[in-house]
Amino acid sequence: MCKAILCEVIARGPLRVPPVLIDVEECMNKEYYIKHEQDIENHRKKVEEERRKIIEKHEKFRVVSTDDEKARIDMRRFLQEKFGSEDVTFVILCDWEYHDGIEAIVHQHGLFNANTSSWHAPGSKIVVIATTNTIAVGERDRIDQELKDEKIAMEQGKWNTLNMKRSELIFQEGNGENPTGKWILHILELYDYNYWKHSDGECIIDLPSFNLAEEYAYAKFRFVDFKRYFKIRVEKDMKSWHW
């Protein structure tokens, strides 16, 4: 029985793959070849793009001159060159918006950092990077004091200017030594903080005529919709009249 079956199989000849399967195999081989070629091309383009970015980054780093610009382009290279080839103990980066990732990079280079805020640019940071934590903290504290002194000097200068202008208005305009009248106030701070809009109305002080012999005078003020009265101490020397 087995011999008969074997003889029959031999007589039929070798097995043949159905044409349908042959077509499917050829199609799959073509698709694989096309995809393989596409993958090679995509990889080549990716490598070229990365190489182009490296060259472009290197060129930008070479062209810029300030520490802030170099650090923003390539922080690692900046730290390596700044603290590696120069006799530098600290560096200060100003108006740094993306400071969260600096600490990890700084520590990787064996350095220390301390941050502080700048009133010149709210929301940004001044970053001190130094060879020791003592230097970083010391420079940070020095910057804080300088910013504080600068702001105090600016505020003092502003008030000095306002006082001079007030004296000019009192003695050179209107009725001379008498500050009576309608005062229109331009309080920019109110609008800077979006508390009111300019379209909401004026802020005014209305000081009626008063008896110079009296110690006090009463005035009416309006800050947009807020209306009240207040008392002013009157002195003979109008350069020093107080609210």
Per-residue model confidence as pLDDT tens digits over 228-238: 888 877 765 55
pLDDT single digits (tens) 158-206: 778 877 877 776 666 555 556 677 787 766 655 544 444 544 567 788 8
Q: Please identify which residue in the block is written with the tokens 């003592």.
A: 134
Smallest CA-to-CA distance from 78 within 130, 69, 90, 87 is with 69
pLDDT exceeds cutoff 90 at 133: yes
In a domain, 69, yes or no: yes
Q: What is the pLDDT of residues 2-12, one digit of tens each?
A: 667 667 666 66
Q: Which amino acid is at 136?
A: A
Of 14 and 65, the structure prediction assigns the larger pLDDT to 65
Residue ending a domain, among 90, 122, 153, is: 153
142 and 179 assigned to the same domain: no
Report if residue 131 sits inside a domain.
yes
Same domain, 71 and 101: yes
Number of domains in the chain: 2
Residue closest to 129 by CA, chosen among 92, 101, 174: 92
Q: 40 in a domain, yes or no?
A: no
Note whether 120 and 184 are same-domain residues: no
- What pLDDT was estimated at residue 137? 93
Nearest to 125 by CA among 105, 149, 101, 109: 101
Q: Indicate the pLDDT class of residue 139, thresholds 50, 70 and 90.
A: very high
| pLDDT reported for residue 194 | 47
Distance of alpha carbon 233 from alpha carbon 218, whole angstroms: 9
Same domain? For 148 and 84 the reply is yes
Please state the pTM of the whole predicted model.
0.53
Do both 129 and 181 map to the same domain? no
Domain of 100 in residue numbering reads as: 61-153
79 within some domain: yes
Find the mean pLDDT for residues 35-39.
87
Determine the average pLDDT of the residues in 134-160.
88
Does 143 lie in the same domain as 65? yes
Task: Record the tokens describing residue 64, joined without a space.
Answer: 């810029």
Q: What's the sign of the alpha-carbon dihedral 52, 57, 58, 59?
A: positive
d(C-alpha 192, C-alpha 207), whole Å: 27
Q: What are phi and psi of 232, to 5 degrees?
A: -120, 130
Q: Determine, yes or no, domain membership for 189.
A: yes
